[in-house]
Structures are given as C-alpha cells and as structure tokens.
Amino acid sequence: DVKVTQSSRYLVKRTGEKVFLECVQDMDHENMFWYRQDPGLGLRLIYFSYDVKMKEKGDIPEGYSVSREKKERFSLILESASTNQTSMYLCASSAGTGWFTDTQYFGPGTRLTVL
Amino acid sequence: QKEVEQNSGPLSVPEGAIASLNCTYSDRGSQSFFWYRQYSGKSPELIMFIYSNGDKEDGRFTAQLNKASQYVSLLIRDSQPSDSATYLCAVDKLIFGTGTRLQVFP
C-alpha cells in the first residue's frame, strides 16, 4: 500500500511565524503535490514537484515556498504565517509514468490554525 | 483559468437508489478525469478514473465521460448510507471541483 504521511495532524501557529509542513511518501513516487482545502473552495494546488529539486507553482503559490531535497520528502513552507493561511493542507504523491494520468495518493492532512 | 464545476449539493437519495453526480470542465484539451470520495475529516481517496469517452464500470460505480460536451459523471448504484460523503471531481489530476455532498438516507 502506498503510504503518504504528514508531520502533524493539527498545528497552531502565530501570525508572522515561519511554518514547516512535512510530507513523506514511501513508494518512490516522482511527483508530489501540496493542496489546501477550504470550505466552498475545494482543493487548490499550491505547488507541485515532478523530480528532486524541481518545483512548479500551482494556482495559489503566494505566501508559500517548497523544498524537495530528497525524492520521498516534500516540504511546504509558510515564510510568515498569516490568518488567511488557516486551512487544511493536503499532500499527495503519484508515480512518474504518464504523470497526468496516474492516481494521486493523499496524506491524512494537516489542519493549520494561524492566530 | 481551467475550471471544474460541481453542484455542491447536498444530493439526498434513499438507500438502494441510484445516485448521479455530475461534473463539467472548461479545458477541452483535458485528458484524464478522476472521482475521489472524501469522508468528513478525512483525506480524499480515489474511486475511479476515466480517460476515454463512454462508460467505465467498477462494482457499484460507473464513470461516464463525454468529451464533446465536456462533462463527466459518476453513478452509484444501490446507494448505501456508507456512501454518504463528498465526491470530488478532478481533471488532469491538478484541478479539482469543490465537491458534491451526497447523503444516502435509510
């Protein structure tokens, strides 16, 4: 079974803090993704990566950055957390062959609250 | 801006009935289409994917794709209360709809 894990299920931070969200997958997948999910807005893609040290902006990259130093790990960084970044953050991974078509596997999510 | 549209619902159906969930997309060049189920408080899990026009069946689930009309649907036969969840349509893996909440009542 594919396993995607995220470092925290719940996280509370203060405005202005630097926040790291970690995601690890154990299936040697090339592609990894970060989404946020908000009521009424669905899942929105923040960043994705199709290879180590490679990254691409998604629909809403502002205020975020990412790091992928190793294939299995994809980190989302909030440089200076703001209250409008309070959300559920979901990480996903997929295999590299035909990356537009391969199934994404999601982690359990991190519910981040910024006070 | 690529868009995927779904009716937010809730769609309420009695147990044993067919639930029909619909999704339209804006990019005519889209190649792959996915249906995910998300229970409250949980992360999405894949139900089905479809790439070609027509129907694809998997157990009680049937995905239907019509590229000319740019819609994809999911039919759930013999709906069960355990099917109550939000169903997310995704296109080319990167673009998700907002989801349709399905309620199956006994």
Mean pLDDT is lowest, of A105-114, B2-11, B55-64, B74-83, for B2-11
Q: Does A32 touch chain B (CB under 8 A)?
A: no
State the Cα–Cα distance between residues B94 and A92, nearest whole angstrom: 11
Find out whether B43 and B95 touch, Cβ atoms under 8 Å: no
Query: What's the pLDDT score for residue A104?
Result: 85
Read off the pLDDT of each residue in A10-33 and give the average, rounded to a whole number: 95
Residue B9: pLDDT above 90? no
Q: Is the CB of A43 less than 8 angstroms away from the CB of B44?
A: yes
Residue B72 in contact with residue B61, Cβ under 8 Å?
no
| Pairwise CB contact (< 8 Å): A109 & B43 | yes
At A36 the pLDDT is: 96
Instruction: List, for residues B25-43, the tens digit of each pLDDT value.
Output: 999 989 889 999 999 989 9
What is the model's pLDDT at position A49? Answer: 93
Predicted local confidence at residue A95, as pLDDT: 85
Query: What confidence tens digit (pLDDT) does each residue in A92-113 have?
Result: 998 866 555 577 899 999 999 9
Inter-residue contact B103 to B11 (CB < 8 Å): yes
Q: d(Cα B101, Cα B14) in Å, to the nearest integer?
A: 14
